[in-house]
Structure 1
Amino acid sequence: MKYLDIENWNRKELFKHFRTMADPTFGLVADVEVSKTYQLAKEKGDSFFVRYLHACMKAINSVENLKYRIEDDKVTIYDVINASTTVARPDTTFGFSYFDYSEDFEVFNQNYLEEKERIQNSTNLLPPRYSLGCIHSSAIPWVSFTGHKEPFSGNKDNSVPQLAFGKLKKEKEKILLPVAINVNHALVDGYHVGQFFEKFQQELDKID
């Protein structure tokens, strides 16, 4: 973990501009094709959700600006971005997880399963450990949405990317997943979101 040299950053003026806004976040929704990942999960008996979340985390960790966080008046650059996602309980409530990212799917999956077990055996909303070096994500598998809005805490310096994944839909021979992403414009532009979706699709198209 290190700090960004804001004074010599080519986005210095953009950073300052968007920090003056009451709500500097922006979000969009796009479909990604998950046909190969869906088939891979089916063949291996893995959770499809964990498979595509792992691909998502690979993409997040490949985009420099998605690893930036505003802390006080500094911009922290995290070496690794971990995962924080909602985990459902049988009674329809949920808890927030926090677990370490690994490029190795088996390690990542085990980390998730341990958090899932913790949440399903407790009533706690928040995880016992947390860092801003993560993303917040949730699955909304009941609705194939085309728009999405995240709750706003009122903290305009909140800079943890927020993602949501919708209900699968079929288009001819393709299986599509709606993905919403919400980011702080002081740190992230449309270009970086485009990089994320490009890398995410590349990871989803891989067959490991």
Structure 2
Amino acid sequence: MKYLDIESWNRKQHFEHFRTLADPTFSLVVNVDVTNAFRYSKNSDYSFFILYLHACMKAINAVENFKYRIEGDKIAIYNTINASATIARKDNTFGFSYIKFSEDIIEFYANFLQEKERIENSTALFPNEYSLGCIHCSALPWVNFTAHKEPFSGDKDNSVPQLAFGKIKEEENKILMPIAVNVNHALVDGYHIGLFFNKFQEELDNFN
């Protein structure tokens, strides 16, 4: 991890402006084409969730601004962003996981299975390990939403991106899934979200 030189940053004024707002976050929902990933999951040992989560994390780690976190008056740049995803239990509650990211999907899947087992065999809400170098994400496979709002802690310097994955739907021979993204505008602009979605779609299309 290193720290950003804010004084020479071309977004210094943007950063300072959005930090003055009571709630500097903004969010949007985008449909992504998951056709290849969904069909690949039917013929592989990987669940659909793991395939699209791994593709998502590859995209997150490819966009530098998604690695920025506000820590006091500094901006930390994390080397790697991990996934803190909600994992369901049989009693319909859930636990927060902390899945270490790896470009290697086999290793990433093993990390996921370890967290899944921990959560299914405990009642703990929070993971044993945590860092701001993550994203918070949830799967909502019951609802094909067109809008989404994340809970707001009141901490306007909260800079961990929040994502939600919705219910898939078939449309014109494509399988689409809504993705909600919530970010702190002090660090991330619409341009960076565009970069993320372009990379995410590219990774999803790679499943053949």
Shorter-chain TM range is over 0.9
**What residue is the counterpart of 2:161 in the other structure?**
161
Q: What does 1:186-201 align with in structure 2 at a 5 Å threshold?
A: 186-201=186-201
Amino acid at match of 1:105: I
Does 2:131 align with 1:111?
A: no
Task: Determine the C-alpha separation between the residues in 2 that align with 1:61 and 1:177.
Answer: 21
- Show the 5 A alignment for 1:129-208: 129-207=129-207
Structure 2 residues without counterparts, runs of 5 or longer: none
Counterparts of 1:63 and 1:41 in 2: how far apart (Å)? Answer: 26
In the alignment, is residue 97 of structure 1 matched against residue 91 of structure 2? no
Q: Which moved more, 1:91-100 or 1:39-48?
A: 39-48
Q: Output the amino acid matched with 2:73.
A: D
Give, in angstroms, the shift of residue 207 of structure 1: 2.5
CA distance in 1 between partners of 2:22 and 2:98 (Å): 28
The CA distance in 1 between the partners of 2:180 and 2:99, in whole Å, is 21
Q: Considering only aligned residues, what root-mean-square deviation do their CA atoms show, in Å?
A: 0.6
Name the SS for the 1:30 alignment partner: strand
Aligned counterparts of 2:201 and 2:193: Cα–Cα separation in 1:
12
- Structure 1 residue 33 displacement after superposition: 0.2
Distance in 1 between residues matched to 2:107 and 2:37, nearest whole Å: 18
- Deviation of the 1:166 alpha carbon: 0.3
Match of 1:5 in 2: 5
Q: Could you list the per-position Cα deviations for residues 8-55 of structure 1 after superposition, in whole angstroms to 9, with x for gaps in the alignment?
A: 000000000000011000000000000001111111131100100000
Within a 5 Å distance, the mapping from 1:56-135 to structure 2 comes to 56-135=56-135
Residue 39 of structure 2 corresponds to which residue in structure 1? 39
Deviation at 1:99, TM superposition (A): 1.6
**What CA distance in whole angstroms lies between the structure 2 residues aligned with 1:43 and 1:35?**
13
Deviations 1:89-111 (A, max 9, x none): 00000000002100000100010
| 1:60-119 Cα deviation digits (max 9, x unpaired) | 000010000000110000000001000000000000000210000010001001000000
> TM-score of the superposition, structure 2-length normalised?
0.99
> In 1, distance between residues paired with 2:100 and 2:53?
12
